[in-house]
Amino acid sequence: MSEAKLSKVEYVKIASNRLRGPVDAELHDGSDHFSEEGYQILKFHGIYQQDDRDVRKARRAQGLGPDYSFMIRVAIPGGVLTPEQYLTLDRLADELGNATLRLTTRQAIQYHGVRKGGLKPLVQVLNRNLLTTLSACGDVVRNIVACPAPFADRQRAELYRYAKELSERLKPKTRAYYEIWLDGERAASLEENEPLYGDTYLPRKFKIGFAFPGDNCVDVYTQDIGIVPVVGEGGLEGFTLLVGGGLGQSHGAKETHPVLAKPLATVGPEQLFEVVEAIVKVQRDHGRRDDRKYSRMKYLVEAWGLERFKAEVERYVGYALPEARALAWLSGDDHLGWHEQGDGRLFFGLFVENGRVKENLRAAIREVVQRFAPEVRLTAQQNLLFVGLDPSNQAAVEAILRNHGVALPGTLPLVVQNAMACPALPTCGLAITESERVMPQVIRELDAVLKRLELHDGPIPHVRMTGCPNGCARPYSAEVGLVGRSLNSYTVYLGGSPLGTRLGQLYLDNVGREEIARRLEPVLEAYKRERLEGEAFGDYCHRVGVETLRERFGNLASA
């Protein structure tokens, strides 16, 4: 592709000298923010520049500029943290952040409200604790997710080992991160290169996820590359690879749309890394760089077709790839509550509403980690697992949570436990409307409808909300997806699979926030009357047809 067709961001990447400038100069320029060019490169270092949109208008009226702060994302492959690492992350929330931690849908942790002067100290403490923000954002392979449940008979440790090693292999090799944040020596530019990424890195962000067979808690079909182990009686036999998933779209670009990944091949364990690297290189060399709305790998797979894409990957690795083995799924739910690990110990899945760890919840988690030193694992559904607990401590863990007023799994409505929302306002620059701040009310209004219809004990729909169409909380693969359309208004999607294997379809557009539960009630009433035995809400909507449901109920709202 000629340089004339490159988007502006591509030129910024080229000019950055492998992710150095202008961040290296602007970090110490005395201002409270970075330039637009600096902001674009800052993302590769795991940092987003934001401002408080709640006060924009008032500050403007006072002749003031934006109230800048920064979101820092810590990349945690597979979401696995030692007790010491978690306690360090918790402490930093008070010292340099806004006293909260945000668990993300990619098993990372985000700090919000960090000021410019706190960026370097925070990164340095993270580094001393073997944690990094490098490539947690930007046009690179981002934090690699993996099913975190530590069942001994599932060889989870091996799954995590592959995820961690792959993460290390796919990190950018530039020394810029170490020079800027960790006071490392500047590398001689002629001696440094990016063998995987090149000077312009990838056309857009790139996501990889490992699922365990039958357990789709990570939404493996929404990844650029989904990886599913093949486990036989003798252990690990290989990996089935899925390609071309991605959920982001733009309201103003009709050709943008969410896509689920398609099966590419099943490869041997010894082939995994080189085949994954080859897929990344195909996207690097052929993904669109002229229009970032169409730069994700899903559009390349669609434009070429799976057969041509596979042939290109085979050309990069130098051998033919076998056909993909069939996959079957039993569950897409998170691993909440108590579970036996299979090694005599227990793990406990704790619900974290919308991933926000704050106040009494934060204090409770800290006390559990301080007293019992469990490994902490983050889930791709924004929850948290305490791993390796002695069964004798089960009652004490529950007592700590109760003493802090934290609801235990099973005591909350299931529709609340199954829900997710993105941060959105006031800090996300892409947000069109609210998500995290209104979801608690919306989901409880929907729970009231379910209780009124006596549906709260059966299969409960998974509901996900985002403040814009980028889909960070994966609303398009949910049974009920709520996507920000305009201020206080949402597009409603229905019919996704509870197993994460089917996208929902547009049901209603421009539904006011206060109308969401009422507009869903007629469909839920029909579901109660017409469902098959054991049929999930999303499966019912798909079977009947979302268009049919719109014709029947689209103009109705219960009084």
SS3 for 436-468, per residue? CCCHHHHHHHHHHHHHHCCCCCCCCCCEEEECC
Q: What is the pLDDT of residue 2?
A: 41
The answer to whether residue 516 scores a pLDDT higher than 50 is: yes
* pLDDT range class, residue 31, cuts 50, 70, 90: very high
472, 485, 513, 541: the catalytic one is: 472
20, 106, 116, 205: the catalytic one is: 205
The yes-or-no answer on residue 205 being catalytic is yes
Distances (CA, A) of 468 to 251, 479, 481, 487: 9, 18, 12, 10
The answer to whether residue 81 scores a pLDDT higher than 80 is: yes
Tell the residue number behind the tokens 């409603």, with chain if given.
492
Share of the chain above pLDDT 70, in %: 97
Please give the structure tokens belonging to residue 425.
């306002």
The yes-or-no answer on residue 428 being catalytic is yes
Q: In what order do the strands lie in the sheet with 505-512?
A: 420-421, 463-466, 480-486, 489-494, 505-512
Q: What is the pLDDT of residue 311?
A: 98
pLDDT average, residue stretch 382-386? 98
The answer to whether residue 324 scores a pLDDT higher than 60 is: yes
Q: What is the pLDDT of residue 559?
A: 39
The answer to whether residue 192 scores a pLDDT higher than 80 is: no
* pLDDT range class, residue 486, cuts 50, 70, 90: very high
Rounded CA separation 115/69 (Å): 5
The yes-or-no answer on residue 422 being catalytic is yes
More confident residue, 77 or 152: 77
Distances (CA, A) of 307 to 224, 247, 314: 17, 22, 11
* pLDDT range class, residue 1, cuts 50, 70, 90: very low
The answer to whether residue 3 scores a pLDDT higher than 50 is: no
Q: What is the pLDDT of residue 273?
A: 98
The yes-or-no answer on residue 528 being catalytic is no
pTM: 0.95
The answer to whether residue 557 scores a pLDDT higher than 60 is: no
* pLDDT range class, residue 124, cuts 50, 70, 90: very high
13, 73, 262, 362: the catalytic one is: 73
Q: What is the pLDDT of residue 458?
A: 79
106, 207, 298, 474: the catalytic one is: 207
The answer to whether residue 260 scores a pLDDT higher than 60 is: yes
For the stretch 218-230, pLDDT in tens is 999 999 999 999 9
13, 43, 116, 142: the catalytic one is: 142
137, 217, 428, 541: the catalytic one is: 428
* pLDDT range class, residue 446, cuts 50, 70, 90: very high
pLDDT average, residue stretch 145-170? 88
Average predicted confidence (pLDDT) for the chain: 94
For the stretch 204-254, pLDDT in tens is 999 999 999 999 999 999 999 999 999 988 889 999 999 999 999 988 788
The yes-or-no answer on residue 308 being catalytic is no
Q: What is the pLDDT of residue 558?
A: 43
Please provide the distance, in angstroms rounded to a whole number, between the alpha carbons at the two ends of the chain: 57
Determine contact, residues 44/139, Cβ cutoff 8 Å.
yes
pLDDT average, residue stretch 283-299? 97
pLDDT average, residue stretch 470-494? 97
